Structure 1
Amino acid sequence: MKMKLSVMALGLALFATGAVAAPPPEPGEVAIEIYRIAPGQQEAFLKLTALYDEANRQAGLPPRQLYVHEDGASWDFIFIQPQHNPPGKSKLVGEALDRLKAPRGANFFLETRKYIAEHTDTAAIGPTTAADYLATVTH
């Protein structure tokens, strides 16, 4: 419950400050990842993340949206990205990761854990609006 409230609070704060652009007409399933990084490992974590964003770029996908902590709660970074790649794109991302010599599989798990103190993620639908989401409700 605490995580859901934190994600909702983040969304409301971003909306209130104008940091969130108008939503696209068709929302999709997104992954929201929240990271608290081990002390002194923020730059190394971002460099590794940039490598994976480059693989996305090479596969014709956008980089994940990054939000950097400024004040308040204990997280360092939040990423928002599509929950699933479009058909055929996962293979292209994998090929790009191989070209970039980026860790994959168990190596990815072990490498990223060097930098992470705490990590949570959740799946969501969005971006959307209250009115658009209510239009999907059936009674």
Structure 2
Amino acid sequence: MKYLMKYAAAAAAGAIAATSIAYAQAASPPRAIISIYHAAPGHQQALLEWLAQQDRIAAAAGIPASQIYAHTDGDSWDYLMIAPVTTDAQDQAADAAAAKMGLPSGPKVGLELRKHIQSHTDTYVVGPLTAAQMLDRLK
């Protein structure tokens, strides 16, 4: 039994190491968009409802949901969102899902968003990766 446990642990460690190295050296590491929103006065709930609607559209299109963080102290933003970078095919699937739901799609999505915000920023990032995986990418 001890031998089996040691073998299983070694196999798991090897798989993790191989996956981590392949992941870190991949030609296209995972990417995300970090968005910071400043809600228009009185529109915090409406903005959250709009963001929830976008997650429902994404789910219908097979796109992972965004992660959202609410400001509690410090800077002036209201919500920070981390979302996957989508492909053209995923964007088309999201537009089709929105249209099927009777919701705005294409450029109209941005017009709807702007009703609920004072400003926002979008930053494209690589990750999530560990610090070790980032260092491996430098080699």
Which category of TM-score, normalised to the shorter sequence, fits these structures?
0.7 to 0.9
**1:132 match:** 133
SS in 2 for 1:79: strand
**2:114 match:** 113
Separation in structure 1 between the aligned mates of residue 107 and residue 100 of structure 2, nearest angstrom: 18
SS in 1 for 2:118: strand
- Aligned-pair CA distance for 1:77: 0.5
Separation in structure 1 between the aligned mates of residue 110 and residue 93 of structure 2, nearest angstrom: 20
Matched, 1:103 2:104: yes
SS in 2 for 1:32: strand
SS in 2 for 1:119: strand
* Aligned-residue CA RMSD (Å): 1.9
Aligned match for 2:38, one of 22, 32, 36: 36
Give a deviation string over 1:8-53, Cα, whole Å, max 9, x none: xxxxxxxxxxxxxxxx954511100000101110111111111111
Task: Judge conservation of contact 1:35–1:78 (CA < 8 Å) in 2.
Answer: yes
Separation in structure 2 between the aligned mates of residue 75 and residue 53 of structure 1, nearest angstrom: 20
Question: Pairwise mapping of residues 28-67 of structure 1 onto structure 2 (< 5 A)?
Answer: 28-67=30-69
Distance change in 2, residues 1:105/1:89 (3 Å): closer
TM-score (norm 1): 0.74
SS in 2 for 1:135: helix
Q: Which runs of 5+ in 2 are unaligned?
A: 1-18, 24-28
**How many residue pairs get matched?**
114
Task: Report the identity percentage.
Answer: 38
Task: Judge conservation of contact 1:32–1:81 (CA < 8 Å) in 2.
Answer: yes
Distance change in 2, residues 1:136/1:119 (3 Å): same
Separation in structure 1 between the aligned mates of residue 107 and residue 54 of structure 2, nearest angstrom: 15
**1:91 match:** 92
Q: Which has the larger radius of gyration?
A: 2
Separation in structure 2 between the aligned mates of residue 51 and residue 106 of structure 1, nearest angstrom: 16
